[in-house]
Amino acid sequence: MTTRRQFLQSGQALALAGLPLSSKQFSDFRLSETYSATNQTASLKDQAKQLGKMFGSAADRNILSQDSNYRKLLIEECSMITPENSMKWERIRPDYDRFFFDDADWLVDLAASHQMLVHGHNFVWHKQLPAWFDDKVTTGNMEKILVEHIETVAGRYAGRMHSWDVVNEVIAVEHGRPDGLRLTPWLEHLGPDHIELAFRTAAAADPHARLVYNEIGLEFNDDLSASKRSYVLDLLSGLLAKGTPVQALGIQAHLAADLPLDFKSLDRFLSDVAKLGLDVMITELDVSDQALPKDVGVRDRMVAETYRAFLDVVAAHEHVISITVWGLSDRYSWLTEFAPRDDGTPNRPLLLDGDLNRKLAWHAASEALTSASQQ
């Protein structure tokens, strides 16, 4: 399958506005604009609160229980937590007839004891399914297995969750279906109706949680993102027309500092989602520097600039109710493993560096929140 970067670097991309930056452009990139360490002492959660929004991070027990400095910072900065892995099928249901709740319980308890909300992740996804899944699931039993799973997990945490990513990443335009749906085991066995089924089951199991459709790759200035935005709007409109209980769109926002964003279209897209009556949650924000030059100063500035520009657009929308980063410190980012740099230096995609110090990105995020609250 062609990756977004391969696509952008291919001949097809020449017709698009969003060309990858040359190394000359890298070094010139907004260097005139300075992000200095501001004197801001308020936490990001307090700054977001001024805007009526929550500020969150992905987190899990394995890290929080072992790194007390990181845990302390996360509690200071965040009003919301998303379990990065512990509520996914492979973790919470290691065997067909055995659930494992210890890690998720630990996180939900931690959140409760620090007045943080929890955003659950997730019920329908094509990844991180347990090893038993393929052997056990058939067209005959899949509906039962899915319903039972959502009833068990959503039911266990009912009343304690702010929201749930009920369905995750089901649009894959490149798979070629007229409805844009990704080819997944869920689609293969249950057809497109599994999406509505998942939302209805989650609503019955936890009537108070906000139910979210969560999607990746909606932000870029290329044909893939444009087409994905359009399919997502169609999917959401179709669900709402059938009375499906979906209340928000999750925009993951796994950005990369070298891949141009389409701010105008993103802004319009946010308004289009609002017109459907849905809230928006920014669910997994980070900014990869995988393809940037080695100079850490340049990298950090471009990453900061990307945070600022993206947050300027989303923070201005009232119906964007939360901004969640996919980890707070470069010490713990999925991109270390999934997007390693060719030069062997670690990716620096988050707001705090590996020593837990605020980066330019933290100040850029802070400035975006402050400036939006002054509009």
Nearer to ligand G3I, 47 or 288 (CB): 288
User: How many whole angstroms separate alpha carbon 364 and alpha carbon 312?
Assistant: 10
Cβ-based neighbours of 95, under 8 Å, separated by 6 or more: 130, 132
Instruction: Please confirm, yes or no, whether 169 is among the known catalytic residues.
Output: yes
Residues from 290 through 309 that contact ligand G3I (CB under 6 A): none
Question: For 147-163, b where at least 16 C-beta lie within 10 A, e where not — what string?
Answer: bebbbebbebbeebbbb
Neighbours of 283 (CB within 10 A): 30
Task: Report the interhelical angle of 263-275 vs 223-241 (nearest 10°).
Answer: 0
Nearer to ligand G3I, 122 or 366 (CB): 122
User: How many whole angstroms separate alpha carbon 205 and alpha carbon 224?
Assistant: 35
Helix (H) or strand (E) holding 286: strand 279-288
Residues from 200 through 219 that contact ligand G3I (CB under 6 A): 216
Number of residues that bind ligand G3I (CB under 6 A): 8
- List C-alpha distances in Å: 303 to 328, 339, 375: 14, 15, 24
Does 100 contact ligand G3I by CB under 6 A? no
Indicate which single residue of 128, 141, 271, 345 sits in contact with ligand G3I (rule: CB under 6 A).
Answer: 128
Residues from 246 through 275 that contact ligand G3I (CB under 6 A): 252
Active-site choice (77, 84, 169, 305): 169
Instruction: Please confirm, yes or no, whether 219 is among the known catalytic residues.
Output: no
User: How many whole angstroms separate alpha carbon 190 and alpha carbon 60?
Assistant: 31
- Fill in the per-residue mask, 141 to 180: x = in contact with ligand G3I (CB under 6 A), - = not in contact: ----------------------------------------
Cβ-based neighbours of 200, under 8 Å, separated by 6 or more: 244, 245
Burial (Cβ within 10 Å: 0-12, 13-18, ≥19) of residue 312: middle
Does 129 contact ligand G3I by CB under 6 A? no
User: How many whole angstroms separate alpha carbon 168 and alpha carbon 212?
Assistant: 9
Work out how close the CB of 139 gets to ligand G3I at its nearest, in angstroms, rounded to a whole number: 25
Does 227 contact ligand G3I by CB under 6 A? no
- List C-alpha distances in Å: 24 to 154, 293, 341: 51, 10, 19
Work out how close the CB of 83 gets to ligand G3I at its nearest, in angstroms, rounded to a whole number: 9
Indicate which single residue of 30, 72, 127, 264 sits in contact with ligand G3I (rule: CB under 6 A).
Answer: 127
Does 84 contact ligand G3I by CB under 6 A? yes
Indicate which single residue of 101, 334, 336, 356 sits in contact with ligand G3I (rule: CB under 6 A).
Answer: 334
Nearer to ligand G3I, 251 or 303 (CB): 251
Indicate which single residue of 215, 222, 279, 284 sits in contact with ligand G3I (rule: CB under 6 A).
Answer: 284
Nearer to ligand G3I, 259 or 369 (CB): 259
What DSSP line would sit under 21-60, residue for residue?
PPHHHHHHTTTTS--PPP---S-HHHHHHHTT-EEEEEE-
Work out how close the CB of 121 gets to ligand G3I at its nearest, in angstroms, rounded to a whole number: 6
Does 367 contact ligand G3I by CB under 6 A? no
Does 103 contact ligand G3I by CB under 6 A? no
Work out how close the CB of 345 gets to ligand G3I at its nearest, in angstroms, rounded to a whole number: 20
Burial (Cβ within 10 Å: 0-12, 13-18, ≥19) of residue 25: exposed
Helix (H) or strand (E) holding 82: strand 80-83
Active-site choice (84, 215, 219, 284): 284
Q: What is the contact surface with ligand G3I in residues (CB under 6 A)? A: 84-85, 127-128, 216, 252, 284, 334
Q: Name the residues annotated as catalytic.
A: 169, 284
